[in-house]
Amino acid sequence: MKTTMMNIRPVPAPGNSSSTADVFNFDQLNLVERGILDSQASNIMPLSLHDCVGFLKRLPLKPPNADLKIPTTIARMVNVLTEPTAAADFFNAQDFEEEGRPEGAPGSAYDPTSDLMKKKLKATEKRTCHHKAPGIFGHIVAPGCMSFYNKDGLTYAVSEGRWWFGNMKASWMAQNVSLNEDLIKPSNSKVLIVRVLPGEIGLIREQGVEMLLDVGTHVFNSGTVDFQGKFKFSVNTIFDHGRYHYLRVSRGQYGKVWCETMQNNVKVLVPRLLDQGKSFDFVLSWVTCELFWVLSLFVHITFNTIGEHYVDSHLFKFDGFVKCSDTIIDHGSIHRISVPKGQVAKVFQENKPRLLGEGDHFIESTDFQYNGMEDTINNNVIIHGTITILRVTLGKIALAWKDSDPTFIDEPGLYEFDSSDFLFVEFKDAEERLIQLGAKKIVLVQTGQVGVTYDEGILKILQHGRHIISKSSHIFHRFLSTQQKSIRLATLSNVQRMSRKATKKSGQSKYTQFDDFSFDARDENADLTVCETKDLVKVGLRADVFYSIEVRRINSYDFNFHCCCINILIIFEWFACSIYNRILKNVSIKSIQMSWWIWFARLRLQRLQTSFALLL
């Protein structure tokens, strides 16, 4: 019999499909949020520094001002930079993003043919005092070396050759210094020569201002430059040099950083996750062929990033790397939850529960809490705050309270609730004979039984079948079998027999029967009915009474039937024992041996059965 428990329908399957896989598909639930695609991640939460204050497409690397392959250019720059304004003039004239410059080559501003360099070299000739020495005179500078001399507190340099001074104020301070060193800094001088190899960046501070040196040879002669080391790309993935920061995120990782962004024209320091970047190739080809000519157009565009991020900011901060495969990543107010297939994540955002489905979820909130995962395959109920997801399978009934009313849900499918007035209690098997929640009951009366209930105090019998009771004043009492049963007649009650069996195990005591008729505790004949014959001899009989209840009609006010429903076994046993006692009171011990009285006892018990028939 189809019975509707309550007007609650399961979530419809996509396309009105009725297959089991679609009925229990969690993707159709409105309360389970779907994950985002990889292409949508950057739109929801940027994974780069493009919109941050101080974002750089590349680092502002200072080009070299000398060529290591030509030692004379190094000595020439040492002498040119003795002019106090020379370094500033070259800095203003140079192009940090000069295109087409070979790696390690000086910038165009330092080309000897440039107007600025010609002007500086002409002025330098008036300040220097070294000249080519004739014959065997002068100081010899070996190939691959350089010597430095001091004049009027300034440091000058000469390359390989034989030199002498034309001024008495000049004196040698460092002779034949090898150019094969990455760092040259003669003692008691202002000269600093730094060689940056490919795959490196030089880190210096000039008058306290941080600067980055590109590959090549860099010459300084101001005394205000402090060399702070070199960064190797092959060894390190991050460096911080004042306001300049470099970060390389490897594949399969996120970098956790803090950066500045503009919000309502105000700079705000926010957390951010940086990924390894993307790469793609775009190829376009077009060919046109005629009789005597062929026109071909081929375009190849490549965009490739290897996870390198550059920024110019004093507030930038790096907090470490995390694996992209981690289930949850927390960084300040940023949260990324990766939910595997077959599970949902339980989170609270601003004290509101949320269920996150399969995929990646990026959430930005300062009030966020992760409460673990739930298995959607093995769990039939998921409870998270006010959210309840029920999966009612075939043969199960869900018991719950909805708006303070008991609710039974038996139709297979998925059910979702987001209400503080819904409370799931438990699942019950649909084959259970009695299912009850509050005042609502499901009574399953099987064939061969009747259900005894009281509707507002009035006895009411339920026939076989399924019955739903919703009235609080309609009380179920018991099931009563209408099939044939038997009762073993015994003088001892059930409680006495259980007590006697307990003493039987100990073997220490005896159980005394009524009227001083004693049985040993180890006696197996404890279920006998004790009767007294005509000649006052006590005998024990093992007798069974078979009975059945026939339900035809009933008077709701029949007190006798009401008593039978409650104490049916007690009444049958009492009447049967009374009949046996009355029969044996009129039988002698000798007649018992003849066994004729048994037929008389059967006749009397037949009358007992008739008198107990329930005529409805």
Q: At 293, is the pLDDT very low, low, confident or very high (cuts 50, 70, 90)?
A: very low
The upper half-sphere exposure of residue 275, i.e. CA atoms within 13 Å in the direction of its Cβ, equals 14
Q: Is 458 exposed, middle or buried (0-12, 13-18, 19+ CB in 10 A)?
A: exposed
The tokens describing 611, both together, are 């008198």
Report the run of H or E that residue 300 belongs to, with start and end: strand 294-304
Binned at pLDDT 50, 70 and 90, residue 496 comes out as low
Question: Closest Cα to residue 615, out of 557, 518, 549?
Answer: 549
Cβ(218)–Cβ(62) under 8 Å? Answer: yes
Residue 198's Cβ-count burial label (10 Å; 0-12, 13-18, 19+) is: exposed
Give residue 52's pLDDT: 92
pLDDT at 406: 92
Q: Quick one: pLDDT at residue 94?
A: 79
Report the pLDDT value the prediction gives residue 552, as an integer from 0 to 100. 57
Read off φ and ψ for residue 434, nearest 5 degrees.
-140, 120
What local confidence, expressed as pLDDT, does residue 478 receive? Answer: 86
Cβ-in-10-Å burial (0-12, 13-18, 19+) of 411 comes to middle
Cβ-based neighbour number of residue 505 at 10 Å: 9
Report the candidate in 148, 167, 168, 169 with the shortest Cα–Cα distance to residue 158.
148
Residue that wins the pLDDT comparison between 493 and 508: 493
Give pLDDT, residue 611. 46
Q: CA dihedral in degrees (491, 495, 501, 503; nearest 10)?
A: -110
**Helical (H) or strand (E) element with 521:** none
Q: What is the pLDDT of residue 230?
A: 94
Q: Please write the tens of the pLDDT for every residue from 442-489.
A: 999 988 888 888 988 888 888 888 899 988 889 898 888 888 777 777
Angle between helices 86-93 and 115-127 in degrees, nearest 10? 170
Q: What is the share, in percent, of the chain residues with pLDDT greater than 70? A: 75
Give 32-60 pLDDT, tens digit per residue.
988 886 656 656 788 889 989 999 998 99
pLDDT band at 612 (very low <50, low <70, confident <90, very high): very low
d(CA 293, CA 83): 63
Q: What are the contacts of 500-508 at 24+ separation with CB within 8 A?
A: 500/526
Name the average pLDDT for the chain: 80
Instruction: Out of 13-17, 396-400, 470-474, pick the least confident.
Output: 13-17
CA distance 421 to 148: 89
Q: State both tokens at 77.
A: 């720059």
pLDDT of residue 300: 41
**Residue 294: count of CB within 10 angstroms of its CB:** 8
459 or 547, which is more confident: 459
> pLDDT by residue (tens digit) across 500-535?
556 555 554 443 333 333 444 445 666 677 777 777
Q: What share of the chain is helix, strand, coil (3-state, %, to 5)?
A: 20, 45, 40
Amino acid 229: pLDDT: 93
pLDDT tens digits for 77-127? 999 999 989 988 888 887 766 777 888 888 888 888 888 989 999 999 889
**Minimum mean pLDDT among 24-28, 150-154, 245-249: which range?**
24-28
**In the structure, what pLDDT confidence band is assigned to residue 217 with cuts at 50, 70 and 90?**
very high
pTM above 0.85, yes or no: no
DSSP letters along 532-563, please? E-TTS-EEEE-EEEEE----S---TT-HHHHH
Q: Which residues contact 121 (CB under 8 A, 6 or more apart)?
A: 76, 80, 112
Phi-psi region of 235 (alpha: psi -120 to 50; beta: other; left: phi over 0): alpha
Which pLDDT belongs to residue 282? 42
Residue type at position 320: G
pLDDT at position 414 over 80: yes
Q: What is the pLDDT of residue 141?
A: 92
pLDDT at 289 over 70: no
515: left (phi over 0), alpha (psi -120 to 50) or beta: left
- Enumerate residues 6+ apart whose C-beta is below 8 A from 88: none
Q: Which whole number is the average pLDDT over 132-147?
A: 89
Which of 376, 273, 318 shows the shortest CA–CA distance to 26? 376
